[in-house]
Structure 1
Amino acid sequence: MENLDKYFDLFDQSRTSEKAFEELNALFSDDMVFVLNGDKKSGIENWKLFIKMVFTENSDIKHMYEGWKKSEGADHYETQWAVCGKHSSGRVFTQTGKDIAKLNEHGKIVYLENVPDSKEMFKSYTTL
């Protein structure tokens, strides 16, 4: 659970800090799976590419989240989040949604699903 609590802060810091980028990636298992708006990707290297694309397309970004909660009778955690950002074009945006995460026995994130309220959010990331 500790890795989940670090996730959003490290994600935001990774835009300007290589150390935070390394710490963020260390939260995940090498064979992790992530899902963006229903589009499934596998492996830590694809995850790193995704993060770099986010920071290429956005000059600033900040997440807020409600706190991770274990789903009743399930093997995963969920949280509601909101993000505000500034696209590299200068346009500002906000978005809300939820994340679903699973941890392995070592506390590493093995599955992360991002479910944005707007299906337009990750359209540009489907080319990974």
Structure 2
Amino acid sequence: MNNLNKYFDLFDQSRTSEQAFNNLINLFSEDITFILNGKKKEGIHNWKAFVTKIYEENVDLKHMYEGWLSVEGTDTYQTNWAICGKHKSGKVYTQTGKDIAKLNDQGEICYLENVPDNTDLFKGY
């Protein structure tokens, strides 16, 4: 659960800190499965590429989240989140959604599903 609690802060910090980026990547298993708008991607190399692309497209991001809760009857956790961002074009935006995650036996995030309320959010990823 500790890795989930670090996730959003490190994601925001990793835009300007190589150490935070490395710490963020270390939260995840090598064989991470992540879902963006229903599209499945696998492997830490694809996760790194996704994070890098987010920061190529945005000059600033700030996440807020409600806290990770265990989903009854499953091995998953879920949180609602909101983000405020500034695209490289200068346009500012907000977005809300939820994340669903699983941890492996080592406490690493091995599954992360991002479910934005606006499905256009990750159209190009």
TM-score of the pair, normalised by structure 1? 0.97
Q: Which aligned runs of 4 or more in structure 1 are off by greater than 3 angstroms?
A: none
In 2, the alpha carbon distance for the partners of 1:44 and 1:94 equals 27
Deviation at 1:53, TM superposition (A): 0.2
In 1, the alpha carbon distance for the partners of 2:20 and 2:77 equals 23
In 1, the alpha carbon distance for the partners of 2:56 and 2:124 equals 12
Q: Given residue 82 of structure 2, which amino acid in structure 1 is its aligned partner?
A: A
Q: Give the match for residue 45 of structure 1.
A: 45
**Unaligned segments of structure 2, at least 5 residues:** none
1:47-95 per-residue CA deviation (whole Å, 9 max, x = no partner) reads 0000000000000000000000000111100000000000000000000
Deviation at 1:13, TM superposition (A): 0.1
**Residues 15-26 of structure 1 mapped to structure 2, 5 A cutoff:** 15-26=15-26
In 1, the alpha carbon distance for the partners of 2:20 and 2:119 equals 28
Deviation at 1:124, TM superposition (A): 1.1
Q: Given residue 13 of structure 2, which amino acid in structure 1 is its aligned partner?
A: Q
1:13-36 per-residue CA deviation (whole Å, 9 max, x = no partner) reads 000000000000000000010000
Q: Given residue 94 of structure 1, which amino acid in structure 2 is its aligned partner?
A: T
Deviation at 1:108, TM superposition (A): 0.2
3-state SS in 1 of match to 2:80:
strand
3-state SS in 2 of match to 1:15:
coil
3-state SS in 2 of match to 1:112:
strand
**Residues 1-128 of structure 1 mapped to structure 2, 5 A cutoff:** 1-125=1-125
